[in-house]
Chains A and B, each alone.
Chain A
Amino acid sequence: AQKITQTQPGMFVQEKEAVTLDCTYDTSDPSYGLFWYKQPSSGEMIFLIYQGSYDQQNATEGRYSLNFQKARKSANLVISASQLGDSAMYFCAMRDWYTGNQFYFGTGTSLTVIP
């Protein structure tokens, strides 16, 4: 069964607009961590934001925020004020301490920012 599901293969957003990238996860462990990574066309993986399962507040890092809805098992990434440099693949991931610190990645969403 898929641990991380990203249902949007590709997204487009106008420059300076906000965009939400969807992510749902599946775990029965109460302790887990959720991550978002950016992979530009150059290929490197860049950490964006982290949310712990026990964190009360939604995580924010600059223009990135994570909309964490625990009951729905969703961890959507919101990018505000999109920039051309935000065009990239975005991966949602989960660290599952119950299965021994393994990380599970989704299949990614390709974001294109339109000038």
Chain B
Amino acid sequence: NAGVTQTPKFRVLKTGQSMTLLCAQDMNHEYMYWYRQDPGMGLRLIHYSVGEGTTAKGEVPDGYNVSRLKKQNFLLGLESAAPSQTSVYFCASNGARNEQFFGPGTRLTVL
């Protein structure tokens, strides 16, 4: 039982490049979330999904897109990376008792 996994763990991009972060969960959770964590800012919600085929905007969605084609996977895309998107990205899914299970995080640097 792997829980929530994220791929990749680290990535360095140049401004304007694109990439996709993959989140996978094996707990059959309906709800999945993408956050970014910046120093002194806590976690901020980017996008989330309440089920397969659905997505919704969170607090800071600009510059990101997401897709939930399969229940167990939630993809976060950056079409044209900017230095302001340098951050640690966390994926999470919801358990039955409302707690969120988090992935280990992806450290992204945009030069």
Contact = CB atoms under 8 A, between A and B. Distances in A.
Interface residues of A, number: 23
Interface of A is mostly: strand
How many B residues touch the partner, as a band? 20 to 34
Interface in B65-111: 88, 90, 92, 97-102, 104-105
Contacts of B105: 43-44
A35 B95 CA distance: 13
Nearest to A35: B99
Interface in A74-115: 91, 93, 95, 100-108
Interface of B is mostly: strand
B27 interface: no
B41 A45 contact: no
Contacts of B99: 35, 47, 50
Nearest to A44: B104
Contact of A91 (B40, B43, B104): B43
B42 A105 contact: yes
Contacts of A100: 56
Contact of B50 (A35, A43, A101, A107): A101
